[in-house]
Amino acid sequence: MANNTFYNEILTEHNMNPTHKHELPDANFSLEGINPSCGDDIVLNLKVEDGKIVDGAFTGDGCAISQASADMMLDLIIGKSKEEAMHLADIFLRMIKEGNISDEEKDELEEAGILSDIAHMPSRVKCAVLGWHTMEEMLGDKAE
């Protein structure tokens, strides 16, 4: 029960008071991500310099899980290289879609690791991965 309370507190905090939900006028990468099954819609904005994510933000609307997950993702990837961000996305997506990552990998995800139980909620998986898929698509092969 304590873990469920911790999960709810973190999810609520990132949803009600997201650190990274704002405009980012000097972003040099921007991509909209849409979850047509439930209507979640975010625009992810990143400022990437010399292969490093120096700032990031998102705007849009959606459920608590999509908004909190995007905010947690930005907490993790700002200050990281493109490769490090893609590595974290790989871990997160395997955690949500397959439910099997190591304890060490879960530790790399920091707070985002609390979303691991979503792997058991098929209707919420697309919500949790929206920001991460958007970031992967954005950085795929084009971020220098």
Q: Residue 2: inside a domain, yes or no?
A: no
| Full-model pTM | 0.92
Q: Residue 36: inside a domain, yes or no?
A: yes
Q: Residue 144: inside a domain, yes or no?
A: no
Q: What is the pLDDT of residues 59-115, one digit of tens each?
A: 999 999 999 999 999 999 999 999 999 999 999 999 999 888 999 999 999 999 989
Provide the domain limits for residue 31: 7-139
Average of per-residue pLDDT across 120-137? 93
Cβ neighbors of 112 (< 8 A, separation 6 or more) are 69, 72, 73, 75, 76, 92
Q: Residue 122: inside a domain, yes or no?
A: yes
Q: Residue 1: inside a domain, yes or no?
A: no
Secondary element (H or E) of residue 30? strand 29-35
With cut-offs at 50, 70 and 90, classify the pLDDT of residue 141.
Answer: low
Q: Residue 32: inside a domain, yes or no?
A: yes
> For the chain, what is the domain count?
1
Which among 83, 37, 40 has a CA at the least distance from the CA of 58? 40
Q: What CATH number did the domain enclosing 42 receive?
A: 3.90.1010.10
